Amino acid sequence: MEPRFWVHCCPDIELGGYMKDETMGQEDAVQDAEACAEALESLDQIALAEITFDDSSVNVQDEPEIEAQLDDQDAKDDGAAPTEDEAGHEDTESEAGNQPESDTGEETVLLDSLPAEDSLTRELPGLGSAPAVDETIAMGDIPLPSVPSAREAEVRHRKMSPKRRNLMVAGIVAAALVAGGAGYAAWNGYQQEQAAAVAANAHTMMSVQIGVHAAGLDCSTSSKIPVQVSGQDADGSSVSETLYVDEHGRGIKLLPGDYTLSIAASPIAADGTIYTVPSTKAQVTIKSDGQDLSSQAAFKLKVPSADTVTDDQIDAAAKYAEEGGASSAATAKVLQQAATARRDAAVNAVSAQKAQAARDADARHKATDLYQLDIPVEWYGKVETWQNGSTLCIYLAGDSDTPIVTLVAVREGESFTPDEGDTVLGAANLGNGYTVYASGPVYPYVVPQTINGRTQNPVSTYPMDSAIELVELTTGNRYTYSQIKNVLVGKDGKADAATKLETDYLAQILLPSIKAQD
């Protein structure tokens, strides 16, 4: 069955007025008919893109005849005189009721000529009748319309009247304007959405990360680091608050804005460690969530000597721990006690060290009737002493037969001769008419030569461990035994070089401490 289209004209629209008004003049009727015809042709033109015509609608074999008619029409439009056949044809058409010809060549039925019983319904020519459509039919059951060929579209375009083309152009322009208005509305809506997103973002808390370094800090068992924040958010509101971060610098949430960050106080580690609070401040701008500010805001908290920590530092750390740095006030109290205990233990240890140092200094201090001195720290515990009047001998601990240096006070103007085998290693003027001379074996020379068998004393006189210790005591261990034996002194025994090693060292650590007795 061929598909058909029907146009129903309701009494409420303008077309119905043409049917009702029987008193309308012939000229108005003609104009109305022409308007209706153009409306029907427009509907026909639209339908071409959506339906398939049968052979009676457009036939390819009729194209030459259509083209000829179009050529004749073009000639008429150009002002050429019509032929006799054309003139006669025009007369015939004029006599046939002086009705205007449809632009498409299809027959146009005036709505006035339709009988009333047609219920204001007409059948479009060439389209057949369409069966009633059942709204329950599935879309897959409806045949898809075919698209007219390019040739058919071209023929119809050439047949279209200038007036109709103008109407179609106007429609396209109107559609473009509508589309443009819709595009502008869409763009404006997008801009508004973006502005709304920015406004919403300005009122959204942002999580940021800063850089912190605190050796040994584990915030799962310690208190967190209090960070003082001041500045303005994106709304221009002032901000001044304390936030807490863990050992990774995480825990700050702020609205977008410009802020100044600083460390408010030390956290308290689980073992009671208190950190030195850095005085640096960092200027940051928060723009987005998850922002890493570690390159702009980096704080290093150093660990000071525990005995230098004050009560004020501990109290400040405990205050911030209780206000939010610790999981609870009870935990903050425990951490405070740990910090105090650690500090007190360190203070006690330092005090004990100082007391021991005082005792050691007293043990190292030696005095005769003419002078006094301190045994070098490097020698303490490794040497012992004996004295006789103004003579003081310092010897290797546990071996009084192995003196390191012997000190003798000589009145000015008197000469001093050391014991056999000893060498004068230095002298200190007391300023009271006496000079103290230091003498003894040159162990950096004697020991290597003895071990090499170049001296009269047997090797057993200096066991290797004692030989090494003697060389270290008389040179301050600035050189290894092998260096002294093989390089500085050598097998051939460079006595002067060996003597200089010892005299230079004693001049640094021993002779400056020799003073006149008060």
Between residues 189 and 465, the one the model is more confident about? 465
Give the pLDDT of residue 478: 76
Scanning 308-413, the segments in alpha helix (DSSP H) are 311-320, 329-364
> Predicted confidence band at 198 (pLDDT cuts at 50, 70, 90)?
low
> Predicted confidence band at 85 (pLDDT cuts at 50, 70, 90)?
very low
Using alpha carbons, select from 284, 295, 274, 444 the residue that is nearest to residue 344.
274
- Give Dmax (Cα) for the chain: 171
Lowest mean pLDDT among 191-195, 288-292, 369-373, 438-442: 191-195
Task: Report in angstroms the alpha-carbon separations of 435 from 368, 410, 504.
Answer: 13, 5, 19
What are 131-160's pLDDT values in tens digits?
Answer: 454 444 444 444 555 555 666 666 665 666
> Predicted confidence band at 440 (pLDDT cuts at 50, 70, 90)?
very high
Give the pLDDT of residue 179: 66
> Predicted confidence band at 445 (pLDDT cuts at 50, 70, 90)?
confident
Give the pLDDT of residue 155: 62
Residue/partner pairs of 196-200 with CB below 8 Å, 24 or more apart: none
3-state secondary structure 194-259: HHHHHHHHHCCCEEEECEEEECCCCCCCCCCEEEEEEEEECCCCEEEEEEEECCCCEEEEECCEEE
Give the pLDDT of residue 394: 95
Residue 193 pLDDT > 80: no
Give the pLDDT of residue 490: 63
Q: Indicate the average pLDDT of the chain.
A: 75
What are 363-381's pLDDT values in tens digits?
Answer: 999 999 999 999 999 999 9
Give the pLDDT of residue 201: 64
3-state secondary structure 436-497: EEEEECCHHHHHHHHHCCCCCCCHHHCCHHHHHHHHHHHHCCCCCHHHHHHHHCCCCCCHHH
Pairing of strands 6-8, 121-123: antiparallel
In angstroms, rounded to a whole number, what is the distance separating the alpha carbons of residues 505 and 160?
122
CATH class of 206-344: mainly beta
What mean pLDDT do residues 348-358 have? 94
Sequence-distant (6+) residues with CB within 8 A of 173 are none
Give the pLDDT of residue 492: 62
First-residue to last-residue Cα distance in the chain: 143
In this structure, what token pair is assigned to residue 239? 């901000």
Residue 346 pLDDT > 90: yes
Give the pLDDT of residue 319: 97
Separation of CA 397 from chain center: 66
> Predicted confidence band at 46 (pLDDT cuts at 50, 70, 90)?
very low
Give the pLDDT of residue 156: 63
Residue 121 pLDDT > 50: no
Residue 454 pLDDT > 90: no
Residue 78 pLDDT > 50: no
Lowest mean pLDDT among 140-144, 219-223, 423-427: 140-144
Select, from the ranges 26-35, 187-196, 307-316, the one with the highest average predicted confidence (pLDDT).
307-316
Sequence-distant (6+) residues with CB within 8 A of 344 are none
CB 487 within 8 A of CB 414: no
Select, from the ranges 95-104, 253-262, 492-501, the one with the highest average predicted confidence (pLDDT).
253-262
Residue 278 pLDDT > 60: yes
Between residues 501 and 220, the one the model is more confident about? 220
Give the pLDDT of residue 496: 82
Residue 192 pLDDT > 80: no
Question: Count of CB atoms within 10 A of residue 301's CB?
Answer: 20
Task: Report in angstroms the alpha-carbon separations of 367 from 294, 362, 390, 395.
Answer: 62, 11, 9, 16
> Predicted confidence band at 501 (pLDDT cuts at 50, 70, 90)?
confident
Element (H, E) at 270: none
Residue 457 pLDDT > 70: no
Using alpha carbons, select from 179, 207, 210, 195 the residue that is nearest to residue 298.
210
What mean pLDDT do residues 239-257 have? 96
Residue 203 pLDDT > 80: no
Select, from the ranges 47-51, 96-100, 443-447, the one with the highest average predicted confidence (pLDDT).
443-447
Q: Angle of helix 26-48 relative to helix 150-159, nearest 10 degrees?
A: 160
Select, from the ranges 158-172, 350-364, 454-468, the one with the highest average predicted confidence (pLDDT).
350-364
In angstroms, rounded to a whole number, what is the distance separating the alpha carbons of residues 318 and 225?
11
Give the pLDDT of residue 222: 96
Q: What share of the chain has pLDDT > 90, as a percent?
A: 44
Residue 336 pLDDT > 70: yes
Domain ranges of the chain: 6-160, 206-344, 368-516
What mean pLDDT do residues 109-126 have? 46
Give the pLDDT of residue 366: 94
Give the pLDDT of residue 225: 97
Give the pLDDT of residue 297: 96
Give the pLDDT of residue 1: 43
In a 3-state reduction of DSSP, which class is residue 312?
Answer: helix
